[in-house]
A and B are shown apart, each in its own frame.
Chain A
Amino acid sequence: MRTFAFARADSVARAVEHRQAEPGSAFVAGGTTLLDLVKLDVMQPSRVIDINALPLTTVERLPDDRLRIGALVTNTDLAYHPDVLADHPLLSQAILAGASTQVRNMATTGGNLMQRTRCPYFRDAAAACNKREPGSGCDARHGVNRMHAVLGGSRECVAVHPSDMCVALAAIGATLTLHGPHGEREIDFAHFHRLPGTTPHLEHDLDDELIVAVTLAPPLMPLGTAYVKLRDRASFEFALASAGAMLSLDEDLIGEARLALGGVATKPWRCREAEALLAGKRADTAAFAAAADVALADAQPLAHNAFKIPLARQAIVRALREAARRAGEDAT
């Protein structure tokens, strides 16, 4: 394994100073992505900046009732937090559908936002990959691409965004607080992850900044949520297709719907057109199937992953159906 220098930051400002001083440096929180990829020689930080001593480990309820999650809250602690379970069960469901107990105990909220793709060509330093080495080409596009994206891809990159947590954040809506050399700014979660386009190596809207918090949008009322994840094995596996759904019901009509997809797209994929279609409709399978068709209308299969389109369709219908059932229970 390649070696690196080290720094331990005792404040957010110092962490950012270290980062700014050394362009090849990387923050480490849980380490589950970074150290995995350093061992594969896919990431080569010149210095690792340990941010685990920073006071970013709490979930707090803001005066306006929104939940603000510190970037170092672990995936496990977030999934079981009483306020998260009460307000945003979708977030808990999605986190617990991902990874293993050990990885969830290590992985953090901010780190999950920075999770890298599981594309095997990205993870193989001998393969061509525009994300790992800009301009080198994409071995996935005409290679074994069963696991790859059908939404949001480009000629340069079809790598799937692997996070389950981020699918829930896409559906719920969230604001990220970033701390950089010029102080703090806030950014809509929807704009944080970039589409690959011609620059798949640029994955996030970050400028020498550290993610310090994620603030969740308020929940829908009454609330029903469901996270359906379809994968090759029942646990500790990345999604082939997943759907996170949130619904509120007004009698038996849908009040507001939220829908996001994982496992099929190059970034956490919010389905706004499908959501708009669902508002005011009867909460039945016909409406859910119509929404799924809209959500997947632009899907473009590669040689080996056309199966993902009907799979995602099923995940969407099942997630919406279950969310509607739970919203009905929540209303009574």
Chain B
Amino acid sequence: MQETTAHPPEAAVTVRLTLNGDPITIEVSPSAILLDVLREQLGLTGTKKGCDHGQCGACTVHVDGRAMNACLRLAVMCEGQAVTTIEGLAEAGHLHPIQQAFLDHDAFQCGYCSPGQIMSAVALLEDHRIAGDVATVREAMSGNLCRCGAYQNILAAIQDVRLRRHAQEGGGDA
């Protein structure tokens, strides 16, 4: 079993995690917030800082597949976990279907909340415990604020991808 470790405030802690599919090892301060480490230490500025208190959702990332507020998580808490940011969604140069749907549905104006909105939307579609009706989706997305007010188009983008997936799943010979 791993030795229980204790670190003073000034000592860096070694954290091993998977970031956007790649295993990495980083040295961080014990009090370093995941959001700040992503943006300032790792240069991944797609994840945005809005309220910095878990109220706006601009910093939403996936930790082991679940949407979380990177502003309310210590980097040291991510030991052994898989963190995915907006930079990790596209595969081989192809946008994630949700990213494409945000373009197709004009689901943003200024774009500042979009990375967080997209990360929440992707996690939402993967979580089959959450029903797919409009009211449930609106509730499940309520942790992401959009001060431009693009909510209707964000909702349309999510439900469009959901419908396409259903059509694909139902279109097979099974």
Residues of A that sit less than 8 Å from B by CB: 1-11, 14, 18, 28, 30-32, 35-36, 38-40, 47-48, 50, 52-53, 76, 80, 99-103, 105-106, 234-236
Contact = CB atoms under 8 A, between A and B. Distances in A.
A10 to B, nearest CB: 5
Please give me the 6 A-B residue pairs with the lowest Cβ-Cβ distance, nearest first: A100-B143, A6-B30, A235-B142, A7-B6, A3-B9, A105-B66
B120 interface: yes
Given A39-B53, A102-B57, A105-B68, A6 B143 contact: no
Given A6-B13, A8-B5, A102-B57, A35 B142 contact: no
B122 interface: no
B31 A4 contact: yes
A35 B7 contact: no
B160 interface: no
Given A5-B30, A80-B129, A106 B120 contact: no
A101 B143 contact: yes
Nearest to B79: A8
Given A18-B6, A39-B52, A76-B66, A102 B30 contact: no
B113 interface: no
Contact of B4 (A1, A14, A47): A14
Contacts of A235: 138-139, 142
B143 A106 contact: no
23 contacts: A1-B33, A3-B30, A5-B8, A5-B30, A8-B5, A8-B76, A8-B79, A9-B4, A10-B1, A11-B4, A18-B4, A31-B73, A32-B72, A35-B33, A38-B31, A80-B129, A101-B140, A102-B68, A102-B143, A103-B143, A105-B68, A234-B142, A235-B142
Nearest to B64: A105
Contacts of A99: 143
A4 B30 contact: yes
Given A5-B30, A103-B143, 11 more contacts: A3-B30, A5-B9, A7-B7, A40-B53, A50-B76, A76-B66, A101-B123, A102-B57, A102-B67, A102-B68, A234-B142
A106 B72 contact: yes
B29 interface: yes
Contacts of B141: 101
B51 to A, nearest CB: 10
A235 B120 CA distance: 16
Nearest to A35: B72
Contact of B142 (A7, A11, A100): A100
Contacts of B168: none
Most buried by B among A14, A38, A80, A101: A101
Interface residues of B, number: 44
A48 B6 contact: no
B17 interface: no
A5 B53 contact: no
A10 B6 CA distance: 11
Contacts of A2: 31
For A47, A102, A105, which residue has the most chain B Cβ atoms within 10 angstroms? A102
Nearest to B8: A5
Nearest to B1: A10
B72 A6 contact: no
Interface in B1-40: 1-10, 13, 29-31, 33
